[in-house]
Structure 1
Amino acid sequence: MVVKFSRVSVWGADDLMILATFSFLIAFVPLNANAGKNGAGQDMWSLTVDQITEYFKASSCFPVHDAISNTNQNFYIIQALYYSTIAFLKASILFMYLRIFPGERFRAVLWGTQAFNLAIGVTFLLLGIFQCRPIHLAWTAWRRDSESLGTCMDVVIIAMVYSAIQVGLDIWMLILPLTQILGLNMKWSKKFGLMFMFSLGLFLTAASTIRLKLLVDYHQGTHNFTVGSLQIAIWSDIELCVGVFTACIPTTRQFFRVFIFGRPDGSTSLHSEHIRGRSLEGSPKRSTRQAAEAVDEPSPHTP
């Protein structure tokens, strides 16, 4: 925000998306942490009825059919926040790519990826909200007397499928900028610097993969839902926080460049059309190189 409000960098759609992401994250992290108060990490049958109901309602999991033998898990309020946060986070990163890289074919691929991310986000958000009929079974189905009142989907499987898709999308979004950087007309030392910066997204992929592994283990192993969900809750926090950091890497680079190392800022006269490549002229390699320099957003007057 310091970089944006000080006009070191212009505002864009990626900034709006990361603000939305951060807003959801502010709600997600405390609610996830509150799961410990309601029983996360504790033996389910050592809790009171009110604690279990509140736990399933506000923070995480519930058994779909039988409270003892079924290993299905559901994230209700937290799940909805999680899906929304991930969707806005990926949208922010993709909009950042759209600001940096001007190639028309590449931009078409980015818009296609953006549409896929939107479709996945909306689909799984709706699945999370309407997983049970009636909806209140999401936090009351653990009681035996509520078992005959409706039905619920196998939301653990849904969560696993979603996580697997997100890991694949993470890898795809790591590959995308690397394909452009390799064609830049610049020294290899600078290429490696850019590749390293974008490759920091591997931390997000690693966190997503660990969370997926925990979901699989949870589904296959535990019959005690409050005990088994604690690590998943922790890694959900880690995944989202690492994701926000990853999306902010280019802006963080600008912050250190201008405010820490004191390099002169000549970026305030740079317009979004120039960043997007509409004013770029010359060969494809030259255009791609100038677009890559938009990470630092140098002044058009810079030699």
Structure 2
Amino acid sequence: MQLLLTMSSIVAEAGLGKDIWTIPFDKITFILLIYFIDEPIYITVVSLTKISILCFYLRIFPDRNFRRAVYAVMVFTGLYMLAFILVSLFQCRPVDHAWKYWNHEHAGACNNVNAQGWAAAIFNIVLDIATIILPLRQLSKLAMNWKKKVQLMLMFGFGGFVTLVSILRLETLIYFAKSENFTWDVAPFGYWSTIEMDIGVMCACMPALHSLFKRIWPKVFGGTARDKLTGRSGTSGLSASLGADRSQRSHKNTDTKDFIPLMDVNSTEAQKEGSKRNDV
């Protein structure tokens, strides 16, 4: 992500977002070269972000059919990434025609870049939607308190916002391929792409951030002492539900051998303390 932000700063300094007639010729070629390099990086980032979220699903949900569905979405995401990286790299013949075509002084040919961009964006949106809706049925089975439900809603709300940004980004593609002033017209396409990647990474990090927030604001993100003893809320409730679901399937589902329940350390300590009290 830092590389992409650095490249965005460099290309902005070179003249992206300005009228093409105010930019030196060598800067125009440089902007197109940076954009050419940026395309496969963008595809890689959005794809790996989805795969990261899907790996998180595999970590907490042991259901065999659900895991098969997750693996299927992961495969399609990987194929999407590979296919469109290759299409982006070889969109023109010769390859350097992608950043030299603008002055009409070099021989070469390019694919329909507009159609290519639309196809990549549509596939990306479909995979986003699949990633968001995939765990909803599993989550509906869990017994959680209202705070945990709100936190999950916020997490998936971020995922929905990523999809919305992808849709808004589609509008900017209309002007890109046919533009005679692409340094001006491509600017919205660039910042929508950057926003999409940033929010996607934030969404993928939210499950891990929950542990940090729970330490900083335990009253908001943690359960009560009584809940920790009974395992009815917060992360304890989630772990208890998933752990019970796993124990019911462990004898007939060999796919759950890699399942790692998200156990709450505080909950475990509270349960041990409760056992000691009972023994006394």
More helix by share: 2
Q: Unaligned regions of 5+ residues in structure 2, if any?
A: 229-239, 251-258, 272-280
Partners of 1:293 and 1:239 in 2: how far apart?
Answer: 30
What per-residue deviation string (whole Å, max 9, x for no partner) do you get for residues 235-283 of structure 1? 111111101100011111111112443969x9xxxxxxx9x96993137
Name the aligned partner's letter for residue 180 of structure 1.
Answer: Q
Asked if 2 retains the 8 angstrom alpha-carbon contact of 1:174 and 1:198, the reply is yes
Secondary structure (helix, strand or coil) at the match of 2:247 reads coil
Asked if 2 retains the 8 angstrom alpha-carbon contact of 1:254 and 1:296, the reply is no
Verify: 1:154 aligned to 2:122, yes or no: no
The structure 2 residue matched to 1:133, chosen from 93, 107, 112, is: 93
Asked if 1 retains the 8 angstrom alpha-carbon contact of 2:158 and 2:199, the reply is no
Verify: 1:209 aligned to 2:167, yes or no: yes
Partners of 2:88 and 2:172 in 1: how far apart?
Answer: 19
**Bigger Cα displacement from structure 2, 46-55 vs 111-120:** 46-55
Asked if 1 retains the 8 angstrom alpha-carbon contact of 2:113 and 2:177, the reply is no
Asked if 2 retains the 8 angstrom alpha-carbon contact of 1:178 and 1:195, the reply is no
Asked if 2 retains the 8 angstrom alpha-carbon contact of 1:181 and 1:194, the reply is no
Deviation at 1:295, TM superposition (A): 8.1
Verify: 1:241 aligned to 2:198, yes or no: yes
Secondary structure (helix, strand or coil) at the match of 2:11 reads coil
The residue aligned with 1:37 is: 13
Partners of 1:298 and 1:81 in 2: how far apart?
Answer: 40
| Structure possessing the higher radius of gyration over alpha carbons | 2
Partners of 2:131 and 2:74 in 1: how far apart?
Answer: 10
Name the aligned partner's letter for residue 154 of structure 1.
Answer: N
The residue aligned with 2:207 is: 250
> Aligned runs of 1:17-28 on 2, under 5 Å?
25-28=1-4
Verify: 1:169 aligned to 2:145, yes or no: no
The residue aligned with 1:64 is: none
The structure 1 residue matched to 2:75, chosen from 115, 123, 127, is: 115
The residue aligned with 2:247 is: 281
Residues 114 and 240 of structure 1, relative CA distance in 2, 3 Å threshold? same
Residues 172 and 135 of structure 1, relative CA distance in 2, 3 Å threshold? same
Q: Please report the TM-score for the alignment, with normalisation by the length of structure 1.
A: 0.72
Deviation at 1:31, TM superposition (A): 0.6
Asked if 2 retains the 8 angstrom alpha-carbon contact of 1:132 and 1:138, the reply is yes
Secondary structure (helix, strand or coil) at the match of 2:14 reads coil
Q: How many residues align?
A: 247
Deviation at 1:144, TM superposition (A): 1.7
The residue aligned with 1:3 is: none
Compare relative contact order (CA 8 Å, sep 6+) and give the higher one, 1 or 2: 1
Asked if 2 retains the 8 angstrom alpha-carbon contact of 1:101 and 1:277, the reply is no
Residues 293 and 224 of structure 1, relative CA distance in 2, 3 Å threshold? same
What per-residue deviation string (whole Å, max 9, x for no partner) do you get for residues 112-163 of structure 1? 00000000000000011111111111111112221xx221111222112111
Deviation at 1:46, TM superposition (A): 2.2
Asked if 2 retains the 8 angstrom alpha-carbon contact of 1:43 and 1:226, the reply is yes
Verify: 1:100 aligned to 2:60, yes or no: yes
Partners of 2:77 and 2:209 in 1: how far apart?
Answer: 25
Name the aligned partner's letter for residue 47 of structure 1.
Answer: I
Partners of 2:147 and 2:91 in 1: how far apart?
Answer: 51
Deviation at 1:225, TM superposition (A): 0.5
Partners of 1:79 and 1:218 in 2: how far apart?
Answer: 14
Asked if 1 retains the 8 angstrom alpha-carbon contact of 2:17 and 2:186, the reply is yes
Deviation at 1:182, TM superposition (A): 1.1
